[in-house]
Structure 1
Amino acid sequence: MIILAGGRGSRMGGVDKSQVRLDGVTLLDRVLDAVTRQLPGVGEIVVVSPHDVPVPAGVAVVSEDPPFGGPAAGVAAGFAALDAPAIVLVFSVDAPESPRVATRLLAGLVRDLDADVAVVRAADGHLQPLCAAWRGEGLARALENLGDPRDVAAKKLLAAAGKVTEINGDGRERDYDTVAELSERGEVGLPEG
């Protein structure tokens, strides 16, 4: 599993988004908690961040090279750190409830055995490429087809995939780009520095 926790956080005041607190809990901890509740014993978890982020034992932290290389570069760095996985779930800290749709994403891959990736389509019609389940071989091919992933949007990674199957969103896939948006969910605390 890959959790993207990097980025400059420019729309959140330039802070490390993974350490933004919602009702006293960091966004990274919310994602990790959702992952372990939905998929106990999930296996390898890689957090991709250029920051020194605290993680539980057994969770790896890597950074894309160069840092802040964008979401596709983050996925590539996370994938390179995994040990030849059959399935790769991809989530982002700015969508802290997204792992709660993990079982639906996995079911999408079971229903469509030819699909390289199952991805959520939000109610607003947009695909959420950072709320996805990839077949390991499919992600490897998509990254190869993409070429240099630096400064490439995650949607282009989907475009480089073979067959994509879509899962209807239920709102839990929503990403929060600003403090104002996140404040709709609860009390927001920004990290110092």
Structure 2
Amino acid sequence: MTAAIVLAGGRATRMGGVDKAAVDIAGRSLIDIVYEAVADAHPVIVVGPESLERPGVRVIREDPPFGGPVAGLAAALAAIDTDEVWLLACDLPRASAIVAQLREVPLAAADDAVILEDADGRAQWLAGRYRAGALRRALARLPEVRDASMRALVGGLALRSVVDRAGATIDLDTWDDVENYRAVTARPSSLEDES
């Protein structure tokens, strides 16, 4: 069994501090879209406020809150005992396409994770499947998890990148991103692409 950690504890400063996880995309919240993508995972842990709790989802908060994604990941990892874990951000409207592309990709003995790489060649660290032990070892190497960067965390990991051929790595960081995504997915041809 693979666990899932969804990071949703940020301040969404580029969106005016709104609850980003609750942003509506075609009648569903972003967080529910991500939960659907990892519905087969167990356990599913979300790092964020209590409002994100759903049946089958455990809410955890880093202490103190707003310590950044690495601090959130550290808090969530303490609650799982599986060998592998999905690690996803809450602002991925095509999370199911991420999971679909990576689900069957085997982790070789030397791999610590399999992640998607976007069309510009950027590694998407919060769109991947990781060995939980590798994440724990990487966390232990950091002097401090609060406000640590994901780059510092994954810098020593053996990441296997898979080119995102479905445009799944799009994330919604700003209101412009949200409106552009809504406009594109409202077009009939785009809706066909989503399925």
User: Highest relative contact order (Cα 8 Å, sep 6+), 1 or 2?
Assistant: 1
Matched, 1:85 2:88: no
The normalised TM-score by structure 1 is 0.86
Give the match's secondary structure for 1:166.
Answer: strand
2: distance between equivalents of 1:93 and 1:183? 17
Pick one of 159, 162, 165 that aligns with 1:167.
162
Aligned to 1:18: 21
Distance 1:152 1:145, change over 3 A: same
Give the match's secondary structure for 1:107.
Answer: coil
Aligned residues: 179
How far residue 111 of structure 1 moved from its aligned partner, in angstroms, is 4.9
Distance 1:176 1:135, change over 3 A: same
Write the letter of the residue equivalent to 1:102.
V
Identity, in percent, stands at 35
Q: Is the 8 A contact 2:112 2:134 kept in 1?
A: yes
2: distance between equivalents of 1:65 and 1:31? 24
1: distance between equivalents of 2:151 and 2:170? 16
1: distance between equivalents of 2:102 and 2:141? 23
> What do residues 80-102 of structure 1 show as CA deviations (whole Å, max 9, x unaligned)?
121x2110110011113134222
How far residue 24 of structure 1 moved from its aligned partner, in angstroms, is 2.4
How far residue 5 of structure 1 moved from its aligned partner, in angstroms, is 0.9
The normalised TM-score by structure 2 is 0.85
1: distance between equivalents of 2:179 and 2:142? 36
Query: Which runs of 5 or more structure 2 residues have no equivalent in the other structure?
Result: 184-195
How well do the aligned residues superpose, as a CA RMSD in angstroms?
1.6
Runs of 4+ in 1 over 6 A off after TM superposition: none
How far residue 137 of structure 1 moved from its aligned partner, in angstroms, is 1.3
Write the letter of the residue equivalent to 2:53.
V
The aligned runs of 1:1-80 (5 Å cut-off) are 1-36=4-39, 40=40, 42-49=41-48, 51-80=49-78
Matched, 1:140 2:136: yes
Aligned to 2:124: 128
Q: Is the 8 A contact 2:43 2:57 kept in 1?
A: yes
